[in-house]
């Protein structure tokens, strides 16, 4: 079984008592306990300003699956950010240095994960661990 593990450690001193939390999950195929995600895509991209790009195209084969997506904004200017949009809904902004990790349900073909850079060309690292992808047949 392919094994992908995602762990997180959170620490905060905002409260009078320290707040910390940890989480770790082995990324399994949807609804299974013994079969791990077995496909992956990843990239390192420079995102110019002014255009909304499809970072990940949703496909019907991904509906109700257990895909996981990590995006990191590797820009260094703290004013730079990328806006994350799913199915035309603005989810939030990843500023320089931020990362995110989400399950991504390609609920329908419009459920693309889109990204737009602001204040300058942003540099991002991204990974998608998933299942169920079939390559498109060559057309020409």
Partner 1 sequence: MATTAAISISSDIIPGYGSYSKTMTLTEAGTNIDIKETTGYARRKLATASKVDLVTMANLMVGEDTSNLSHKIFIKNIGHNGEIDKTKYVKVFVNSVEIGLLYGGDWLMMPIVASDGEDIEVQAQDDNAVVLEWVMFYKG
Q: Which residues bind partner 1 (CB under 8 A)?
A: 2-15, 19, 21, 23-28, 30-33, 37-40, 42, 64, 66-67, 70, 72, 78-79, 81, 84, 86-95, 97-105, 107, 111, 125, 127, 129
Distances in Å between the Cα of 71 and the Cα atoms of 21, 35, 60 are 21, 24, 22
Q: What tokens appear for 103 in the block?
A: 């399950």
* Residue nearer to partner 1 on the CB measure, 22 or 138: 22
For residues 133 and 88, give the distance between their C-alpha atoms in angstroms, rounded to a whole number: 23
* Residue nearer to partner 1 on the CB measure, 89 or 135: 89
Q: How far is the CB of 139 from partner 1 (least distance, A)?
A: 27
Give the dihedral sign, CA 107/110/112/117: negative
* Residue nearer to partner 1 on the CB measure, 40 or 139: 40
């Amino acid at each position: 079984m392919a094994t992908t593990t995602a762990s997180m450690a959170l620490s905060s001193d905002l409260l009078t008592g320290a707040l910390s939390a940890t989480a770790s999950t082995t990324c399994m195929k949807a609804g299974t306990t013994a079969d791990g995600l077995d496909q992956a895509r990843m990239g390192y991209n420079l995102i110019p300003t002014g255009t909304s790009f499809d970072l990940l195209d949703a496909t019907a084969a991904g509906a109700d699956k257990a895909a996981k997506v990590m995006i990191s904004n590797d820009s260094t200017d703290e004013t730079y950010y990328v806006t994350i949009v799913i199915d035309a809904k603005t989810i939030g902004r990843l500023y320089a240095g931020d990362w995110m990790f989400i399950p991504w349900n390609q609920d329908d073909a419009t459920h693309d994960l889109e990204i737009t850079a602001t204040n300058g060309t942003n540099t991002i690292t991204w990974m998608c661990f998933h299942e169920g992808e079939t390559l498109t047949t060559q057309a020409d």
